[in-house]
Structure 1
Amino acid sequence: MQAVMTLKKFTLSAVFGLAVTGYSISTATASVTTSPANHLLSTLKYVELEAEQGDTNMQLFLGRAYLEGSNGLKSDTLKGLYWLQKAAVDMPEVKTMIGDLFKAGQVLPKDSSQAVEWYTKAAEEGSVPAMVELGGYYASGASGQVDCANAIKWFNEAANGGSLESKRNLVWLYATCSDARVRDGQRALKLAKQVLSRSGTGDAGDYDNLAAAYAACGEFRAAVKAEQEAIGKLENTNTQRFVKFEQRLELYKQSQTMYNASL
């Protein structure tokens, strides 16, 4: 099984240590008024004035400083979030960032509903990472139950935006979803073959997906062959993944036997 894409690990340094596309949020952007760090308190009102007047770099800088409790400022979650929300108005990247913060629960309280709200806003503005997060959220059952329709919706959007992992996830969902209204073996098979046609693909997970797609179409002989291929590509056979692959292989073999007996 190509497991539904897990939500990425979050570290504050990974978010704030890199530039948001088109906007640097390093301390260098505010070097005139805030470096060295102990200068910030004496010039804080000017920095905040620039931020209030719409300087996105300053908004991001203050959001970081308050959330981290850095640059001489005491940690203040409400102020940090206030400035990030200011910066997020026209920036889906920052909306995605806020979703990450609520999801991780490190510098903001862990809150799945808030994370989904921010991811949805960002996704609706074209953020592919936010689309991926939403797809994973609905596919994992984190909403209370697996919601294949919404998972497929957002993975489709992400796949159209260039996310190969989302296309892989779509194969599995179309092939295995318990909701017959959205399960579609033929579409799963078409997508699985598209993935395998891409350079750098063809690992164990891709063939496991292919096997599931064949099985969803009732092509159990092909499913057995694809699952055997998947097992052969596993480097470590002493894993839970190997056990699951073997279990699926046996199911495909049994289904093939039952199908042949009915002929």
Structure 2
Amino acid sequence: MTVLLVWGFVGFANGVAALEKSVAETEAKKAEETTGREDLDRAVELKLSARTLNDLGEVIRLCEQALSKKLDKEDEEFAKQLLAATRIQRGMMIAQVILGGIPIDRNWPAFRALALEDLEKGLAVDPTQAEAWFTVAKLHALPGGDERKAIEACGRAIELGANNPRLLGDAYMLRGQLTQGKEESIADLTKAIELLPDDPEPLRLRAQSYLKANKPEEALADLNKALEKEPDSIATLESKIDTLIELKRYDEALQVCDQIEKLSPNTAEALFNRARILAVQKEYEKALELLNQAAKLDPKNPAVLMIRAAVYQELKKTDEALKDINEAIKLRPGNPALLRLRAAILAGSGKFSEAIADLEQVRKAQSGEDEVTLALQLGLLYSAQKFYGKAIEQFTKVLEADPKNVAALRGRADALLSMGRHAEAIKDYEKALEVDPNDSGVLNNLAWVLATSPDDKLRDGKRALELAKKACELTQYKEAHILSTLAAAYAELGDLKTAIEWSQKAVELGEGEEKEALMKELETYKSGKPMRELLQEPPEPVSPPAEQDKKEEKPESDKDQKQEGQKPSEQSSN
């Protein structure tokens, strides 16, 4: 049967154009000579003997031809039902080849589209086919599919599949994998476990959902149950390692590596898993040694390349890290985890435009709760490139979903401050402190704007001093830029003597460009002046970072030129 399906699929793919041409030339004349009922009779006869996709295609053509002619109501309804059933059958046959793991043409997404067209047209007429709905869900769940439609199709399969526990359990299991909400995912997978008590897969999947929901103990319990049913599953053992790492039970995780090594000797799996345990424990040199051994055994393993890239990055070996991650992406183009890691490596190297391009690619391919994390990362990267308007857009997306996200509140406030929008920045800093009163960065930046804003209505030297002192205490008076803010607060209150003392200490702690800027601040206080931020909003390029090399860059604002009497922008958005 498999051979027949493959032959029929390939014949369908390769011969569809020739078939259409043949039909157009040879059947046009016959169509004029037949009635709708005769076409329908021929369709029924062929349907009974159909064995290939081309046969089914001819049945579909005859049904459509019959419906284009005059039929009585009974025959018309029968023709519609036959057409729908045949479309569903053909769609299911194509899907069986795509989903069955049989090697097919690299253009399989086009065939997926054909299968979905047949199934969706058939279900529009006869929407009661639970198995067809589940097949639609599985096709959409493949890379490049429509996740929303996959979830909806799972729901229809669940509604209709009450008499088929296997189908119902599989539909709950797939929806549990696709659902972004953690509680919904766990609920669906729990139902799948109830329906499929002997299947370890829903237990393993629920464990992964528990882990995402920060419930590692529950995850470990599920994995142990799954291993009782399938003790030799390396996938389950690796999930157990993930869970034990989360629980910081590293010795137990290494014991699981021993099990993997017994099941798969002389392969990269055990070496790879030992390496990632060591990497989590910051034993990077030891981890790298094991990863090098694993790479020799399996040089095209993207997981090994990914973890080694991360280890190289921790060891400040950026070139080696990029080489590994680029090779991994060649093996798994568009993989979100790989793109995220490369974005992190690129950002660490100051290549913000390239990092943004990678994260934008991930964002376009994914949706749901992950959108919040991506928006936060993009906001930080846009800020680093001084694309403050775009940064604010991303931070606002995060705050719409999570109004108490301190990182987004601070990020947006820093961007607003960098644009000279001091009043708005103060509001965000205040909200951030309501959530986390001990965030030294927020305390520092709010104190700075309260002490240095050129808007008399916004300055509050007394509160600025209170906030700056707390930030200094939290950082043990060891951060130059925070001591600088303390000096600015004293200067705003008119105590220039104390401002000079703290500014001098800030200079002593500062290094490089920061030290030069701090020395300018000190000179400002010695001249008897307080510090003032400029209120001018800097011009900002409107095109995406990736397009900037195509356009002439606009000059930066006065604020970024570190003029006398003004804090450097790097510090104000610290």
For Structure 1 versus Structure 2, the TM-score category normalised by the shorter chain is 0.5 to 0.7
Segments of structure 2 that go 5 or more residues without pairing to the other structure are 1-99, 110-137, 152-177, 182-328, 336-356, 531-574
Contact in 1 for aligned 2:380/2:411 (Cα 8 Å): no
Map of 1:260 onto structure 2: none
Map of 2:397 onto structure 1: 121
Give the drift of 1:82: 4.2
Map of 2:375 onto structure 1: 95
CA RMSD after TM alignment: 4.3
Map of 2:179 onto structure 1: 55
Give the drift of 1:70: 7.4
Contact in 2 for aligned 1:185/1:217 (Cα 8 Å): yes
Distance 2:444 2:514 in 1: 24
Contact in 1 for aligned 2:410/2:429 (Cα 8 Å): yes
* Pairing 1:195–2:319 present: no
Q: Partner of 1:56: helix, strand, or coil?
A: coil
* Pairing 1:133–2:411 present: yes
Contact in 1 for aligned 2:443/2:467 (Cα 8 Å): yes
* Pairing 1:148–2:422 present: yes
Distance 1:50 1:120 in 2: 26
Contact in 2 for aligned 1:92/1:127 (Cα 8 Å): no
Give the drift of 1:137: 1.1
Task: Report matched runs for 1:104-253 at 5 Å.
Answer: 113-124=389-400, 125=402, 126-141=404-419, 146-162=420-436, 163-235=439-511, 239-252=515-528
Distance 1:95 1:77 in 2: 9
Distance 1:104 1:47 in 2: 35
TM-score (norm 1): 0.59
Give the drift of 1:178: 0.7
Contact in 1 for aligned 2:500/2:525 (Cα 8 Å): yes
Deviates more, 1:68-77 or 1:215-224: 68-77
> Matched residues, percent identical?
24
Give the drift of 1:235: 5.0
- Candidates 40, 46, 54, aligned match of 2:141: 46
**Which protein has greater RCO, CA pairs closer than 8 Å, 6+ apart?**
1
Could you say which structure has the larger radius of gyration? 2
Question: Any idea what the Cα deviations from partners look like across 1:174-207, whole Å, max 9, x if unmatched?
Answer: 0000111111100101111111222444322222
Would the alpha carbon gap of residues 244 and 112 (structure 1) be closer, same or farther in structure 2, given more than 3 Å must change?
Answer: closer
Give the drift of 1:212: 0.7
Question: Any idea what the Cα deviations from partners look like across 1:116-157, whole Å, max 9, x if unmatched?
Answer: 22311312422222112211111111xxxx111111111222
Contact in 2 for aligned 1:231/1:245 (Cα 8 Å): no
Give the drift of 1:172: 0.9
Distance 1:120 1:232 in 2: 38
Normalized per residue, the structure richer in helix is 2
Distance 2:393 2:445 in 1: 22
Segments of structure 1 that go 5 or more residues without pairing to the other structure are 1-32, 58-67, 256-263
Q: Partner of 1:150: helix, strand, or coil?
A: helix
Map of 1:71 onto structure 2: 332
Would the alpha carbon gap of residues 70 and 152 (structure 1) be closer, same or farther in structure 2, given more than 3 Å must change?
Answer: farther
TM-score (norm 2): 0.30
Contact in 1 for aligned 2:477/2:483 (Cα 8 Å): no
